[in-house]
A = this chain, B = another copy of it.
Amino acid sequence: MSHNTFSRRELITATGAAAIGAVLAQVGGGIVSNAEAKVETGKWPWPYEKLDPAKTAELAYNEWYRVFCGAAVISSIFSQLAEKIGEPYKSFPVDPFIVLEGGMAGWGTICGSAAGANIASNLIIGPRIAGPECEHGHTIGSNIMKWYSETDLPVYVPKNPKANKEKIVRTASSSPLCHISVGRWMEAANKPLGSPERKDRCARVAASTAYKLVEDLNAWKDGKYKETVGWVAAKSVGITGQQNCTDCHGSNIPTAPK
């Protein structure tokens, strides 16, 4: 008989429903029932294995030229975990996060690398409402915003840079915003947005951010990530925001209603 000629019912009768269930359970890695997939994606932390920060940074650097900053950070980590662990990383749709590019579809808001890091850390460790063992997703994400704002970027030097081969200008953005981060670098380097140098710079920023995120995730995996959230704007200034109000407001800082 051809494998097309029997019905599901016939097959279940022939082998017994319990047997089918056992196959489904035993084939394991190859098959995920919806119920199992739900458990895998909806239960945190997701399985994580420590990664090599430099290898991750290389992957992010190269992925930038395919899917740009935000998706490159997510891809550099998830592609390795898909290989080492499998689901839920294998089926996670990374490419749509290309929209994080240019501060969300080019609007210059949050740097995609910082956004991608926040999304990746929260996907892996979990949303802060999922329980105390998931709180570090938010913490690592938030503290990467601070690191991003304060660090002379890019830190990471790729093995085969596509531009800035001799040296690269490094600038602190004092902000997690794409527009301010890239604008300050463009001014210091005197390079336009469309230049190979600016593209290499942003690819290196993605690589640097992926490197930092993997360092933090590895520390978390080892139970050694002990930082708390370093900046809680709502508490400090009564409104969401970054730390340095004068950077945009000058001396004319509005007061939030009490």
Q: List residues of chain A with CB under 8 Å of any chain B CB.
A: 3-4, 6, 8, 11-12, 14-16, 18-24, 26-27, 29-34, 37-38, 40-42, 44, 66-67, 71, 86-88, 90-93, 95-99, 102-110, 114-115, 118-119, 121-123, 126-130, 137-138, 141-142, 145, 176-179, 182-183, 186-187, 189-194, 229, 231-234, 238-242, 248, 254, 256-258
User: Known contacts A110-B110, A239-B179: does B92 contact A104 (CB below 8 Å)?
Assistant: no
User: Known contacts A37-B32, A179-B241: does B119 contact A233 (CB below 8 Å)?
Assistant: no
19 contacts between A and B (CB under 8 A): A3-B19, A12-B23, A14-B15, A14-B19, A29-B34, A41-B91, A42-B95, A44-B96, A66-B129, A95-B129, A96-B137, A97-B127, A103-B110, A103-B241, A107-B233, A110-B110, A179-B240, A183-B256, A193-B256
The quantity of this chain's copies bound in the complex is 2
Q: For residue A93, which residue of chain B has the nearest CB?
A: B41
A108 to chain B, nearest CB (A): 4
Q: Is the pair B96, A182 in contact by a Cβ cutoff of 8 Å?
A: no
Q: Closest 4 CB pairs between A and B?
A: A3-B18, A108-B240, A108-B241, A109-B110
The residue that A99 contacts in the complex, of B19, B21, B137, with Cβ under 8 A, is: B137
Q: Is the pair A96, B142 in contact by a Cβ cutoff of 8 Å?
A: no
Q: Is the pair A183, B254 in contact by a Cβ cutoff of 8 Å?
A: yes
Distance between Cα atoms of A29 and B33 in the complex (Å):
9
User: Known contacts A31-B31, A42-B93: does B99 contact A182 (CB below 8 Å)?
Assistant: no
Distance between Cα atoms of A229 and B101 in the complex (Å):
15
Known A11-B23, A98-B128, A179-B240; further 5 A-B contacts with Cβ < 8 A = A11-B26, A37-B91, A38-B91, A110-B110, A191-B257
Distance between Cα atoms of A248 and B138 in the complex (Å):
29
Q: For residue A105, which residue of chain B has the nearest CB?
A: B142
A107 to chain B, nearest CB (A): 5
Chain B residues near A86 (CB-CB < 8 A)? 34
Distance between Cα atoms of A130 and B129 in the complex (Å):
34
Chain B residues near A109 (CB-CB < 8 A)? 109-110, 176-177, 242
User: Known contacts A20-B23, A95-B129, A238-B193: does B38 contact A90 (CB below 8 Å)?
Assistant: yes
Q: Is the pair B8, A90 in contact by a Cβ cutoff of 8 Å?
A: no
The residue that A107 contacts in the complex, of B179, B191, B242, with Cβ under 8 A, is: B242
Q: For residue A3, which residue of chain B has the nearest CB?
A: B18
Distance between Cα atoms of A138 and B137 in the complex (Å):
27
